[in-house]
A and B are shown apart, each in its own frame.
Chain A
Amino acid sequence: AQKITQTQPGMFVQEKEAVTLDCTYDTSDQSYGLFWYKQPSSGEMIFLIYQGSYDEQNATEGRYSLNFQKARKSANLVISASQLGDSAMYFCAMREANAGNNRKLIWGLGTSLAVNP
């Protein structure tokens, strides 16, 4: 079963508008971490934001914020005031505390975001 689901293969947004990229996850662990990464066409994987399962506040990093709804197992990325440079693939990932699984990130298939001028 898919542990990380990103239901939007592609998204478009106008420059300066906000956009939400969806991510739902599945885990039976109480302790886990959720991550968002950005991958531009050049290929590097850039860490954007982290949310821990016990964090009560939604994580924020500059123009990025994470809308964390634990009961719904949802961890959506919100990008405010989109810029042309935000055009990229965005990946949601999870890491579980379970000793057998904490070694790796479990990845979604990504959402391709295009920012229109």
Chain B
Amino acid sequence: DGGITQSPKYLFRKEGQNVTLSCEQNLNHDAMYWYRQDPGQGLRLIYYSQIVNDFQKGDIAEGYSVSREKKESFPLTVTSAQKNPTAFYLCASSYVLSYNSPLHFGNGTRLTVT
């Protein structure tokens, strides 16, 4: 079955450590996205990528970095510069970057930094 796989489901880190969240898709989608979800705030866009080797900042990119070396993969690194990294992170993909192209999401990674 096609889908988006995020791993791990839960992640615990100490302050000051960088951590990388994995996202893989086998839907053959061109566009991929990372969102952050905090209670009561809805989803906020961190980074997105329209094609391989290209990515753009979203609304809250500070303290995060991404890469898109393969069409299937879009890992997110949460750096020590991110002030409030504890959150639920959702990766998504869409066929193309277009207003009528639905996003399909992975199961999410819950990151806790202490």
A: residues with CB less than 8 A from B are 31-33, 35, 37, 42-47, 50, 52, 91, 95-97, 102-105, 107-110
- Does A105 lie within 8 Å of B103, measured CB to CB? yes
- Does B105 lie within 8 Å of A32, measured CB to CB? no
B: residues with CB less than 8 A from A are 33, 40-43, 45, 48, 50, 56, 58-59, 88, 90, 92, 97-108, 110
- Does B104 lie within 8 Å of A47, measured CB to CB? yes
Residues of B within 8 A of A37 (CB): 105
Partner of A44, one of B48, B56, B108: B108
Residues of B within 8 A of A31 (CB): 99
Between A32, A47, A109, the greatest number of chain B beta carbons within 10 A of the residue's beta carbon is seen for A47
Complex CA distance for A33 and B102, rounded to whole angstroms: 9
Shortest Cβ distance from residue A31 to the other chain B in the assembled complex, whole angstroms: 6
Assuming the contacts A91-B42, A104-B59, A110-B42, asked whether A50 and B100 have C-beta atoms less than 8 A apart, the reply is yes
Assuming the contacts A33-B99, A52-B100, asked whether A46 and B58 have C-beta atoms less than 8 A apart, the reply is no
Assuming the contacts A103-B48, A104-B45, asked whether A43 and B108 have C-beta atoms less than 8 A apart, the reply is yes
Shortest Cβ distance from residue B34 to the other chain A in the assembled complex, whole angstroms: 11
Partner of A47, one of B48, B56, B58, B103: B103
Complex CA distance for A43 and B35, rounded to whole angstroms: 13
Shortest Cβ distance from residue A93 to the other chain B in the assembled complex, whole angstroms: 8
Complex CA distance for A32 and B59, rounded to whole angstroms: 20
Residues of B within 8 A of A43 (CB): 88, 107-108, 110
Complex CA distance for A31 and B97, rounded to whole angstroms: 14
Shortest Cβ distance from residue B101 to the other chain A in the assembled complex, whole angstroms: 8
Shortest Cβ distance from residue A56 to the other chain B in the assembled complex, whole angstroms: 15
- Does B103 lie within 8 Å of A44, measured CB to CB? no
Complex CA distance for A31 and B90, rounded to whole angstroms: 26
Closest-by-CB residue of A relative to B110 is A43
Residues of A within 8 A of B99 (CB): 31-33, 95-97, 102
